């Protein structure tokens, strides 16, 4: 076994096999970290209750409130108003379940609360070589640390709670090799949008992607998270990046990260977490990031994407494009530069980290957003909120005319009161431009925080490079 070359994914997979795959049964895979939130967990706890089962390792599960939790600015009493009675029940259910089963919850008033994929890395809970799952498809975010992290359904959430394991068939592997440096104004978000544009929304089906090459090496941890986050938008099971000094520097000293001898031990155990030199991938794709421009979506899935200065494809045989453009109120052959926008949303597990806010603020400093435009800036966690306030970023957003909110998923999923009205255009830093994702009839255009800021200033889609 050890004489064979292995990919990063195979190394992490093999270390977690409790019972190997056979002809008739999937492998039993051990899960190191399980994250839960209010939306995909209540029915999992119901399953445990129906079967009278305890949680096997409660200390390996962590709960937060993010999806249906409102982000209205915090009232004095620190009780955020809940949008509907259903949501109140859902939040109550998570509180009750965590109390009953002994699971730590970052409750509404916790300084640690935030979007589930933001808080894990932030606190040093997400670590190289781990297996991490959550009832949420963007669990792929944690792969930026060299963890094998993927989204699961609610029944599987119950499996992990009860056994700390999952039954899994081994996915195939794909290497995406990226060369060239990102030019000014082009961010990790543009890179991943371009990758999805190239391989398509089904390109990664059944695969774990490893992003590699000089471009990836040069990215910060926050940028790497943005890339891995949207692996699911390419259909992939997970996205991974081999840990390196950038990873270790990011993790050292984080709140939940051990120090001293234990830290040195961990560091040592992460050293061989990269694909062996001649490791075989089932598929390889090469990408040149050198000439890349800011990217923007024009349709109703993230694969319908182009450079900001390009034109929407001409009419062809693709009926789904025709349908998407009809929904979006856009035309074949048109450019999006200058397209009027009603709402700009900076937030989500893709782009609501401190570096995203810094980038957006760098353009908004001493500027105002366009008249009549609504802009929401929603930090990914309470910790990021606090940091942005202490760095003066929050004030820049407020002075520019934007709304500065409590942390949460907000307008990314529009089930918490933050909704785009029917027919309106939203320029969003989130990850899904599906029909109705940001509100019934909402028209979503995905882009980077820089493009979002430039667009907010001009009230129409703008190339951030021109404001830099």
Partner 1 sequence: MMQTISIIRSRTVVLTHRNIDTDQILPARFLTTTSRHGLGPHLFADWRYDDQQNPNKDFPLNQVDPAEYQVLVTGDNFGCGSSREHATWALLDYGFSVVISTQIADIFRSNALKNGLLPIIVEPKIHGWLTRHAGEFVEIDLQEQSLTMANGNIVGFPIDPFAKTCLLNGVDPLGFLLQQEAEIAAYEKSDS
- Give residues 218-237 in contact with partner 1 (rule: CB under 8 A): 232, 235, 237
Task: Return the CA Rg of the chain.
Answer: 21
| Rounded-to-10 torsion of CA 412, 416, 417, 418 | -20
Number of residues that bind ligand SF4 (CB under 6 A): 14
Q: Beta-carbon neighbour count of residue 457 at 10 Å?
A: 22
Angle at 214 between CA 209 and CA 218, to 5 degrees: 100
- Give residues 114-143 in contact with partner 1 (rule: CB under 8 A): 135-137
Torsion 132-137-138-140 (CA) sign:
positive
Cβ-contact 185, 465 below 8 angstroms: yes
- Considering the complex, state which of residue 21 and residue 391 has its C-beta at the smaller distance from partner 1: 21
Please tell me whether residue 222 adopts helix, strand or coil conformation.
Answer: helix
* Residue selected from 1, 2, 3, 50 as contacting partner 1 according to rule CB under 8 A: 50
Structure tokens at 355: 């570096």
273-284 as b/e: b if 16+ CB within 10 A:
bbbeeebebeee
Q: Considering only the stretches 143-151, 183-191, 207-215, 409-417, report the one whose residues sit in contact with ligand SF4 under the rule CB under 6 A.
A: 409-417
- Considering the complex, state which of residue 325 and residue 442 has its C-beta at the smaller distance from ligand SF4: 442
Q: Considering only the stretches 47-55, 176-184, 267-275, 279-287, report the one whose residues sit in contact with partner 1 under the rule CB under 8 A.
A: 47-55
* Residue selected from 98, 148, 409, 450 as contacting ligand SF4 according to rule CB under 6 A: 409
Structure tokens at 32: 């190191």
Task: State yes or no: residue 65 binds ligand SF4 (CB under 6 A).
Answer: no
Query: Which residues does residue 283 pair with via DSSP β-bridges, in sequence order?
Result: 174
DSSP for 40-88 reads TSHHHHHHHHHHT---S-GGGEEEE--SS---SPPPTTS-PPPS-HHHH
Write the binding mask 181 to 220 for partner 1: x where contact by CB under 8 A, - elsewhere.
--------------------xx--xx--------------
Q: Which of ligand SF4, partner 1, none binds 430 (CB below 5-8 Å, type-dependent)? A: ligand SF4
- Considering the complex, state which of residue 62 and residue 453 has its C-beta at the smaller distance from partner 1: 62
Write the binding mask 122 to 161 for ligand SF4: x where contact by CB under 6 A, - elsewhere.
--------------x-x-----------------------
Q: Which of ligand SF4, partner 1, none binds 110 (CB below 5-8 Å, type-dependent)? A: none
Q: Considering only the stretches 123-131, 149-157, 274-282, 378-386, report the one whose residues sit in contact with partner 1 under the rule CB under 8 A.
A: 149-157
Structure tokens at 202: 């089904």
Helix axes 354-364, 221-229, angle to 10 degrees: 100
Cβ-contact 450, 294 below 8 angstroms: yes
Q: Terminal CA-to-CA distance of the chain, rounded, Å?
A: 53
As a whole number of angstroms, the distance between CA 215 and CA 180 comes to 6
Instruction: Give the H or E element holding residue 223.
Output: helix 221-229
Number of residues that bind partner 1 (CB under 8 A): 68
Q: Which of partner 1, ligand SF4, none binds 262 (CB below 5-8 Å, type-dependent)? A: none
Q: Considering only the stretches 70-78, 116-124, 188-196, 413-421, report the one whose residues sit in contact with partner 1 under the rule CB under 8 A.
A: 413-421
- Considering the complex, state which of residue 301 and residue 430 has its C-beta at the smaller distance from ligand SF4: 430
- Considering the complex, state which of residue 83 and residue 311 has its C-beta at the smaller distance from ligand SF4: 83
* Residue selected from 153, 253, 329, 338 as contacting partner 1 according to rule CB under 8 A: 153
| Rounded least distance, CB 3 to partner 1, Å | 22
* Residue selected from 49, 89, 315, 331 as contacting partner 1 according to rule CB under 8 A: 89
As a whole number of angstroms, the distance between CA 10 and CA 8 comes to 5
DSSP for 321-356 reads HHHHHHHHT--TT-B-TT-B-SEEEE-TTTS-SHHH
Structure tokens at 365: 């400093």
Q: Which of partner 1, ligand SF4, none binds 127 (CB below 5-8 Å, type-dependent)? A: none
Give the interface with partner 1 as residue ranges (CB under 8 A): 18-19, 23-26, 28, 30, 39-40, 42-43, 46-47, 50-51, 53, 56-57, 67-68, 84, 86-87, 89-90, 93, 135-137, 151-156, 158-159, 162-165, 167, 169, 171, 201-202, 205-206, 232, 235, 237, 301, 303, 319-320, 323, 413-415, 422, 432, 434-437, 440-441
Give the interface with ligand SF4 as residue ranges (CB under 6 A): 66-67, 115-117, 136, 138, 348-349, 409, 412-413, 430-431
């Amino acid at each position: 076994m050890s004489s064979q070359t292995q990919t990063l994914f195979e190394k992490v997979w093999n270390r977690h096999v409790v019972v190997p795959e056979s002809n008739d049964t999937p492998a039993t895979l051990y899960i190191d970290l399980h994250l839960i939130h209010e939306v995909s967990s209540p029915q999992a706890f119901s399953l445990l209750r129906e079967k009278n089962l305890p949680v096997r390792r409660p200390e390996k599960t962590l709960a937060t409130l993010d999806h249906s939790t409102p982000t209205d600015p915090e009232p004095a009493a620190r009780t955020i108003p809940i949008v509907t009675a259903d949501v109140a029940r859902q939040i109550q259910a998570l509180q009750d379940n965590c109390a009953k089963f002994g699971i730590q919850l970052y409750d509404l008033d916790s300084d640690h609360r935030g979007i589930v994929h933001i808080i894990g890395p932030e606190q040093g809970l997400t670590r190289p070589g781990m297996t991490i799952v959550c009832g949420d498809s963007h669990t792929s975010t944690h792969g930026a640390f060299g963890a094998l992290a993927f989204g699961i359904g609610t029944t599987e959430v119950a499996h992990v709670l009860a056994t700390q394991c999952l039954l899994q068939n081994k996915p195939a592997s794909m290497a995406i090799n990226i060369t060239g440096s990102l030019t000014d104004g082009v961010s990790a978000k543009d890179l991943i949008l371009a990758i999805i544009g190239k391989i398509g929304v089904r390109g990664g089906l059944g695969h774990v992607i490893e992003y590699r090459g000089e471009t990836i090496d040069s990215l910060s941890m926050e940028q790497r998270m943005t890339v891995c986050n949207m692996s699911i938008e390419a259909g992939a099971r997970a996205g991974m990046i081999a840990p390196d000094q950038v990873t270790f520097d990011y993790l050292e000293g984080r709140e939940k990260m051990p120090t001293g001898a234990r830290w040195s031990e961990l560091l040592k155990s992460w050293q061989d977490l990269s694909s062996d030199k001649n490791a075989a991938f089932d598929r390889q794709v090469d990408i040149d990031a050198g000439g890349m421009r800011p990217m923007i979506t024009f349709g109703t899935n993230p694969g319908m994407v182009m450079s900001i200065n390009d034109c929407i494809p001409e009419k062809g045989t693709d009926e789904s494009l025709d349908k998407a453009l009809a929904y979006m109120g856009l035309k074949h052959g048109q450019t999006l530069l200058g397209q009027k926008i009603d709402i700009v949303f900076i937030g989500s597990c893709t782009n609501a980290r401190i570096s995203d806010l810094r980038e957006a603020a760098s353009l908004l400093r001493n500027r105002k957003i366009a008249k009549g435009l609504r802009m929401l800036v929603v930090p990914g966690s309470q910790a990021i909120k606090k940091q942005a306030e202490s760095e003066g970023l929050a004030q820049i957003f407020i002075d520019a005319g934007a709304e500065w909110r409590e942390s949460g998923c907000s307008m990314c999923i529009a089930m918490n009161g933050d909704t785009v009205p029917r027919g309106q255009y939203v320029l969003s830093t989130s990850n899904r431009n599906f029909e109705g994702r940001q509100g019934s009839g909402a028209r979503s255009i995905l882009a980077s925080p820089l493009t979002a800021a430039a667009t907010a200033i001009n009230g129409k889609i703008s190339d951030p490079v021109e404001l830099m």
